[in-house]
Amino acid sequence: MKSSEHGALTRNQELVYDALTDAKGPLSAYAILDGLREHGIRAPLQVYRALDKLLEFGLVHRLESLNSFVACSHPECDSRETMVFTICEKCGKVSELADKAIAGQLESLADLDHFALKAATVELRGFCQACQTASTQ
Amino acid sequence: MKSSEHGALTRNQELVYDALTDAKGPLSAYAILDGLREHGIRAPLQVYRALDKLLEFGLVHRLESLNSFVACSHPECDSRETMVFTICEKCGKVSELADKAIAGQLESLADLDHFALKAATVELRGFCQACQTASTQ
DNA sequence: CAATCAATGTTATTATATAACGGATTGGTA
DNA sequence: TACCAATCCGTTATATAATAACATTGATTG
Ligand SMILES: [Zn+2]
Ligand SMILES: [Zn+2]
Ligand SMILES: [Zn+2]
Ligand SMILES: [Zn+2]
């Protein structure tokens, strides 16, 4: 379970995780690095190693199309398998959607191709609600 | 339609597109560059500019999680909206799946969040059929 | 021809990620 | 305690991916 894992985070992991939860949006590894210099983080590897562990714990997800990272917004989502994100191309807002159905759909789609599915990345690009209404006024 | 667009490709676009179709697998921009040096391509920008156009034409897709590019394997697929790829984590094989249902599912999922969906990237990681049978022997 | 626009060539720079090495810390265990 | 193994840590250097800036070429067209 996550909350117990969270308690076991090392110092660097804690720093990186806090940076991501504070940000309430995706951050690149180098943006995290810049924000943590005053806390003693000096090199990219310190950030990347912490991120690797956080990804492994399921506390953080990687946004492939943005080369950046977000804290998981589903405290109970320990699946680590299928994540769905919306990415607003105007304001940059990112939301993580919870959906069981898509995971099943992708599973059966993979089966058709005899592909043993381990993990899925779904990234949706478009406009968030706020940016839609803003552009139609 | 694609075949007509293909006839209108410029020299650099043609070179890059041919490199991708010959490869029968994903290539990074720099791998393309290395393969085309003897044809007069010398700088990353020459490759990236050609790729931008090919992506726009729908002749090529970008694999976000691999930072690489593949020629579209669906001659009639001009949708340019929802692509689904399987990526074998053992042998690196990539397949582009054709599926109308997933696109609809993602559309309605986005609707729930009042998100105006423009394009979707779906990348499935796991093991291809060949690598499964190879690992169970 | 002159204006325009897309494509090109080149150099330099930024952004993202990993390799390689050694030292420090932790947790069990003889 | 002394030992071992595993993990985490810090540092330097390097690899890989993508873009900025600017000048030039070549086709289109009015
Ligand atoms: Zn999550
Ligand atoms: Zn928005
Ligand atoms: Zn395609
Ligand atoms: Zn395989």
Question: Would you write out chain A's pLDDT as a tens digit for each of its 137 residues?
Answer: 444 445 689 999 999 999 999 998 999 999 999 999 999 999 999 999 999 999 999 999 999 999 999 999 886 666 557 899 999 999 999 999 988 889 899 999 999 999 999 999 999 999 999 999 876 65
Query: A86 and B123: CB-CB below 8 Å?
Result: no
Domain-ending residue, one of A17, A42, A71: A71
Which chain B residues contact residue A118 at CB under 8 A? 89, 125-127
Q: How many domains does chain B have?
A: 2
Q: By residue range, what is the domain housing residue B21?
A: 3-71
Query: A113 and B97: CB-CB below 8 Å?
Result: yes
pTM value?
0.91
Report how far ligand 3's centroid is from the alpha carbon of A122 (Å). 16
Q: Are B81 and B93 in contact (CB under 8 A)?
A: no
Residues B18, A53: Cα–Cα separation, whole Å: 40
Q: Which residues pair with A97 in a beta bridge?
A: A84
Tell me, yes or no, whether A111 and A63 share the same domain.
no
Residue B98 CB-density burial (10 A; 0-12 exposed, 13-18 middle, 19+ buried): middle
Query: In sequence order, what are the residues at sequence separation of 6 or more whose Cβ sits closer than 8 angstroms to the Cβ of residue A37?
Result: none
Point out the residue among B65, B102, B121 whose CB comes nearest to the CB of A109. Answer: B102
Residues B111, A127: Cα–Cα separation, whole Å: 11
Residues A23, A136: Cα–Cα separation, whole Å: 29
Tell me, yes or no, whether B61 and B114 share the same domain.
no
Element (H, E) at B123: strand B116-127
**What is the greatest pairwise CA distance in chain B?**
52
Tell me, yes or no, whether A64 and A87 share the same domain.
no
